[in-house]
Chain A
Amino acid sequence: MSLALIVILPFLGAMLPALMIRAGRNACALATGTATLLAFALLLVHAPAVVLRGEVVQAGWQWLPGLGLNVNFFLDGLGFLFATLILGIGLLIIIYARFYLAKEDPMGSFYSYLLLFQGAMVGIVLSDNILLLLVFWELTSLSSFLLIGYWKHLPEGRQGARMALTVTGAGGLAMIAGMLLLGHIAGSYDLSVILQHGEAIRESELYLPALVLILAGCFTKSAQFPFHFWLPHAMAAPTPVSAYLHSATMVKAGLFLMARMWPVLAGTEAWFYLVATAGLLTMVIGAFIALFKDDLKGLLAYSTVSHLGLVTMLFGFGTPMAAVAGVFHIINHATFKAALFMNAGIVDHEAGTRDIRRLGGLVFLMPISATLATLAAASMAGLPLLNGFLSKEMMLHEAAHTAWAGQGWLVPLLATVGALFSVAYSFRYILHVYFGRRRDDYPHPPHDPPAGMWLPPALLVVLVVLIGLFPETMAGTLVRATAAAVIGGPVPDFHLSIWHGFTPALGMSAVAVAVGLLLILSYPRVRALWQAGPHPEAKAMFDATLGGALALAQRFTHGLHNGSLQRYLAFAVAAMVLAGFVAFSGAPHEAGTRALLPMQPVAVVAWVLLLGGCMLTVVFFRKRLLSVLVVGTVGLIVCVAFIYLSAPDLALTQISVEVTTVILILLALYFLPKESPVSSTVRAQPLRHLRDALLALAAGGGMAAVSWAMMTRDGVSLSDYYLENSVSGGGGTNVVNVILVDFRGFDTFGEIIVLGIAALAIFALLDGALHGRVGRRLSAWTPDLPVSVDRHPIIMVVATRVMLPLALLVGAYIFLRGHNQPGGGFIAALVVSIALIMQYMASGFAWAAQRVRVKYHAMIGGGVLVAVATGVGAMVLDRPFLTSAFTHVHLPVVGEFELASAMAFDAGVFLTVVGAVMLALANLSRMGRWTAHRPVNKMAMDVDPSAAPYREHH
């Protein structure tokens, strides 16, 4: 339980500073420190068991067992070492920051972020579940983002924070994939289980992808080449943050994970070449760049990069002894580098600048700081009697015995080069800041800081010296315990001591110190040489990459989404053609089994007409009026086809619908441009037309092929059922009508309601439109074609008058015979509607409207009511809703005909459809009337044959 408490304490503590800041800055710092101290104390309680006896402490419970995500913690040597670093150095940083932060900096949020980060870090090192570890891992990225961007007024701070988050966040996400793979191979997401499956994991074929993805996370976090560039830019953060995150803890998370996974992943060739090479390159490149940085923190940042590379390389070697050296160097680096960062902060704080070129000779003004800095930097350079020396010797020793691709000289040489640069920049830190001539143009008069600021680094420097002098006593046990956890097996026999005799490592070390000193003594000349060379700037590259990605995305998006509907449709159709083709290529290709019918001349003629109609539509697509008419022929051919295939009922429906829609479109077209814009012509956009033509051919051809395939095969037909049951169940021989009013009576009932509502909606819309803004626009609109002089031609008026009673009779006939022969309420309604509409067309809307006594609204409602009544009638007779009854009646003249209750229902359908069609069409024509601005004609036609010539518009 106490393990979980160690992790939770900083998170709980993160709430304290925000609350305590009202009580003053000291109280705030104290509260923060207390939380950390408590956690640290809890950790130290476990020290005897873990460090001395090598036990592993575990605790946990299930969180999301379904996802394999458990809150399991465990503490072994490795976790203990890192937790000690995180909490111990964290405590020092908290004290230091209390004095470092200026009065105007919001201290409460700073400490909150810091504790948040601390909790996340502790979470990483104590997690026993890789998914939980991931969660904490991402949390460190986030909280460090907040800390780096803490000084919001500095643009570098914001940019640095963003870059750090982008790089480490991206690496972390890549690691998710790696961890998922790892869990998949091992069959569990618990670390303690995974650590026991090293053999199986290394042999798995997923080993390499998992390794690469996990390393991507580690390398980005630990700023390894080629991801090293973000760390120096994150240095815009306040110095306590740099000291804590970028030297002691966060950047070491990558190292921690490599160490943690060492027993599982290390030891293969891929591991060696990936990890050791990246480490080696990082070590040399980082040290080289550090030498020429003028910003103190920049120098330390690159030096950190270099030292992280050193440890990475050691882990990469994959030998137990190298791992021991790596662990030891982690401890040493944390002590001297955190001390140096705090020292850089002191210089910045007291002298007002971190620019090395403006410093020098501070030793007399700041003796305490100078002493501390000299000791820490000397340790960084690897001078004897200090801890840096010991681990560097071990590193050189390992490097001297490692061959890279069979080349035994390569690694030792590069390691020595790295070491000598390291010596050089360490001395530069000492000599160019503290020694040399005293200046009189410091931005601030420098002096030693208050004890609160120099005591924390002093404590670390004491450790540096003590470990350097008595390595075995001070660190031997801890290193052994940690190394045991890293290696996951027996620890090689070693003894930490200052003197190992004259070894190759000592020689390399001596060369490094000598050449390094030489470099720094002739620094101006070296620098001039460096200045002559090229300086690839990683930040510029990063920005360029991001900018490039942005530009690419923009071009990409524009190509896909330029807002053109044609293009979208083309994409959709093309995708469908492609998908259809894929389905087609995967299907069996033998021909259908049905025998083909002989070709009839009528069918050929219809086919040619159909083709012609389609082609003409395409040719005349700009002349809209014409294309509507031509499309109408297509509908008529379809209608003929229905007749030919013995479906007169369908044909009747088809022709009525066809005529009605064409009239509707023509009415609408009255208000629209008669020609499509010039920009849509073939000449204007030949390529687009070619594309569309090809797509149309492919899509149409595909449809035809599919239809062909369907029709040449036997299938199940639904019609047999209805044909068999039409007479017995519904009392009619016209199957379509029986289906409509009987089998599917309820559906039809719903449909007529929808139709009625639609008509009412059209009425409401148009009516509303005529009175609003649209109405004013319409009334200002003038037709773009000349208006016919004969508005109400006599021939048409007379003809429609004659046709009306005939049409009504036909309607009645069609209606009555509907149940047995082609016809029915729906078709009858369309026929009657067309006849009525003709009256409107002949004599004008207003003239006809004045003479209509029936309200179409009422007709719709009445129709629905009649249909309901039929259905309810059945219920009154104790039968289910809409049950049909039929009987045969014999009338003297007419002969025998059948009277079905469905007929009343059909009457309802009739009324509703007439009402709906009339309401919709009549109102569209009313709109035309609205724009005409003419008085209502008194006469039915232009010419009154019974009187003198009369022109209505005079």
Chain B
Amino acid sequence: MNFVVPDFYPAAAEIFVAVMALVIMLAGAFARSVRWLAYTLTQLTLVGAALITIFVPSVDVSYTFSGMFVSDLFGNVLKLLIYLAVGVALLYGRGYLADRRMERPEYYLLAVLMTLGMMVMVSANHLLTLYIGLEMMSLALYGMTAFDRDSVRSTEAAMKYFVLGALASGLLLYGMSMIYGATGALDFVSIKDALYFQTANKTVLLFGLVFLMAGIAFKLGVVPFHMWVPDVYQGAPTAVTLLIASAPKLAAFAMTMRLLVFALFELAEQWQAMLMFLAVLSIILGNLAAIAQSNIKRMLAYSGISHMGFMLLGLVAGVVSGETHNAITAYSAAMFYAVAYVLMSLASFGMVLLLARAGFEAEEIDDFKGLNKRSPWFAAMMMIVMFSMAGIPFFIGFFAKLAVLQSVVAAGYVWLAVLAVVMSVIGAFYYLRVVKVMYFDAPADDAPIHAPAEMRVMMSVNGLSIAALGLMPQGLTYLCWIALLASLT
């Protein structure tokens, strides 16, 4: 059996990041005293990966590693966004970690490995590649959740995350094995062909799909596999929560797209029904439960559940009674929503990090009291984020919701749109409560806000970008659309 050397170019970015992970590990082992080294190397890795992603792979869809790996515009756009999200999240989290003596090289090593896992997920064209990427990301995240080893809450959160995650992985694998059993293929193109020529056993496929869906739902954190989300968001150190709540959502979106759209598109009618179920439950539960929260991390966790449900609505609207002309628009609406959510998520958890200092977590909503008096600028930034999350016009969140809702209405699910809107009305309540607390309540503590200059600048850029993209979302909308168009057709 001869071994064929694969074409490494399409995976150049992944290889670069993997090598850099080793470099960072060595740096962490041999140059521990140089505090900034691991962080700087990590950020450089992300920049380098971005440059490679932009310049090396060709624009066309290209497969490598015996069809296990694909490089296409969809994946590359998402990868670039992932680098951005991870980079920003690490920047926000740095001061927090340093205050708590947690800024160790291993943290950045795990972050790089997580990034690598996500990249593999995004570019997977094979069930096993996808699974390996997923596990790589998840294991790093479990480790990071427990990074504060002496905190009982963190350890417990990590334990729950791990046990539930293992269950979900098991379900996903089981589903994959059934898909394989039905189609005899592991790579997405062959699966798609098998489905297209209807050589697969439909019953087994359907079961496989159900189990796949459970795995997807867990990773996205949507009802009824959302149980880990609030506990982990609250329990993990805020810097890690920020990481969990941002880039992995993009990766999970990519995974959903790869599995459902790229591989199992022929089953769209079936999985759309399942997704609709997940989406409706998530939107309802997320919004209702968020009202009761007094911990802002937990509140944002529930809000995240509802946002992910909203995003899924875009995927529900792709195929209408066999017609697929709505598909690209609907999927790009979902993609836009995912990107918008990640931007808002970064900013909101970033604010929590900004207010936190040594010995003070700033994770209660009451800790935001009177923020306007302490720092009008950052209060305004937080207000932008909250308004955007609530879906109020002129911010990116509004257009994300609007685009998704339009595709839902165009698909004829009027009741779904109405329900989603009604639930966002309820959702607006708890976002606005934060605004009210910031502007109208007296501050409980007068400590000035300490944050490094780069964090202040980044936070401002992040907040303003939410507003700016709200005014001019065309560029991002077009990018999502063209990425899907180039990769799907």
Contacts and interface: CB of A to CB of B under 8 A. Distances in A.
B288 interface: yes
Interface string B178-193: 1001111000000000
Contacts of B164: 565, 568-569, 572
B231 A563 contact: yes
Interface stretch (B255-263, B356-364, B409-417): B409-417
Interface string B199-233: 00111101101110110001000001101101100
A284 to B, nearest CB: 29
Given A556-B289, A557-B302, A882-B3, 8 more contacts: A67-B399, A169-B392, A563-B231, A565-B164, A568-B160, A716-B181, A725-B1, A879-B2
Given A64-B399, A177-B417, A706 B207 contact: yes
Contacts of A556: 288-289, 292
23 contacts: A64-B473, A64-B477, A139-B393, A149-B440, A165-B432, A169-B432, A177-B417, A180-B405, A553-B291, A556-B292, A568-B228, A572-B218, A572-B227, A583-B207, A588-B203, A710-B181, A716-B183, A716-B184, A742-B1, A743-B1, A745-B3, A880-B5, A883-B3
Contacts of B213: 579
Contact of A180 (B163, B417, B425): B417
Interface string B396-425: 001100110110011000100110011011
A565 B403 contact: no
Contact of B230 (A134, A174, A176, A561): A561
Chain A interface category by residue count: 35 or more
Nearest to B370: A152
Given A561-B231, A580-B210, A174 B422 contact: yes
A173 B292 contact: no
Given A169-B432, A209-B414, A554 B1 contact: no
Contacts of A742: 1
A575 interface: yes
A359 B425 CA distance: 43
B214 A184 contact: no
A576 B278 CA distance: 12
Contacts of A561: 227, 230-231, 289
A729 B1 contact: yes
B451 interface: no
Interface of A: 64, 66-69, 131, 134-135, 138-139, 142, 149, 152, 158, 161-162, 165-166, 169-170, 173-174, 176-177, 180-181, 184, 206, 209, 213, 546, 549-550, 552-554, 556-557, 560-561, 563, 565, 567-569, 571-576, 579-580, 582-584, 586-588, 706, 709-710, 713, 715-716, 718, 725, 729-730, 742-743, 745-746, 773, 874, 879-884
Contacts of A165: 432
Contact of B393 (A67, A135, A574): A135
B355 interface: no
B14 to A, nearest CB: 14
Q: Report, nearest first, the 6 A-B pairs whose CB atoms are least far apart.
A: A716-B184, A568-B227, A553-B292, A135-B393, A729-B1, A575-B224
A586 B271 CA distance: 13
Contacts of B227: 560-561, 567-568, 571-572
Nearest to A871: B3
B3 A880 contact: yes
A149 B422 CA distance: 26
A874 B3 CA distance: 10
A135 B394 contact: yes
A181 B424 contact: no
A138 B387 CA distance: 11
B422 A177 contact: yes
Nearest to A170: B425
Nearest to B419: A177
Interface string B324-348: 0000010000000000000000000
Contacts of B85: none
B421 A174 contact: yes
B207 A184 contact: no
A569 B163 contact: yes
Given A554-B292, A561-B230, A579 B391 contact: no
A582 B210 contact: yes
Given A152-B440, A556-B292, A710-B181, A176 B421 contact: yes
A158, A579, A718 — most chain B CB neighbours (10 Å): A579
B323 interface: no
B189 to A, nearest CB: 17
Nearest to A213: B418
Contacts of B3: 745-746, 874, 880-883
A59 to B, nearest CB: 19
Contacts of A66: 329, 403, 474, 477, 481
B449 interface: no
Interface of B: 1-5, 150, 159-160, 163-164, 167-168, 171, 178, 181-184, 201-204, 206-207, 209-211, 213-214, 218, 224-225, 227-228, 230-231, 274, 285, 288-293, 302, 329, 387, 391-394, 398-399, 402-403, 405-406, 409-410, 414, 417-418, 421-422, 424-426, 428-429, 432, 436, 439-440, 473-474, 477, 481
Contacts of B393: 134-135, 138-139
A733 to B, nearest CB: 15
B214 A576 contact: yes
Label chain B's interface by main secondary structure: helix
A166 B429 contact: yes
A527 B48 CA distance: 79
Given A67-B399, A181-B409, A173 B425 contact: yes
Contacts of A743: 1
A549 B428 contact: no
B1, B228, B422, B474 — most chain A CB neighbours (10 Å): B1
A565 B425 contact: no
Contact of A583 (B159, B206, B329, B392): B206
A113 to B, nearest CB: 12
A560 B421 contact: no
B418 A177 contact: yes
Contacts of B4: 880
Nearest to A561: B230
B392 A142 contact: yes
A715 B291 CA distance: 50
Given A549-B291, A556-B289, A556-B292, A710 B204 contact: yes
A174 B425 contact: yes
Contacts of A583: 206-207, 209-210
A184 B411 CA distance: 10
A773 B101 CA distance: 15
A170 B428 contact: yes
A550 B391 CA distance: 21
Contact of B224 (A206, A571, A718): A571
Contacts of B178: 706, 710
Contacts of B428: 166, 169-170, 173
Given A135-B394, A709-B203, A715-B201, A557 B289 contact: yes
A730 B2 CA distance: 9
A205 to B, nearest CB: 10
A559 B123 CA distance: 39
A209, A553, A573, A883 — most chain B CB neighbours (10 Å): A553
A587 B207 contact: yes
Nearest to A725: B1
A184 B410 contact: yes
Contacts of A131: 402
B403 A67 contact: yes
Given A135-B393, A588-B203, A773-B150, A880 B224 contact: no
Contacts of B398: 135
Contacts of A180: 405-406, 409, 417
Nearest to A567: B227
Contacts of A162: 432, 436, 440
Contact of A565 (B163, B391, B399): B163
Contacts of B182: 715
A550 B292 contact: yes
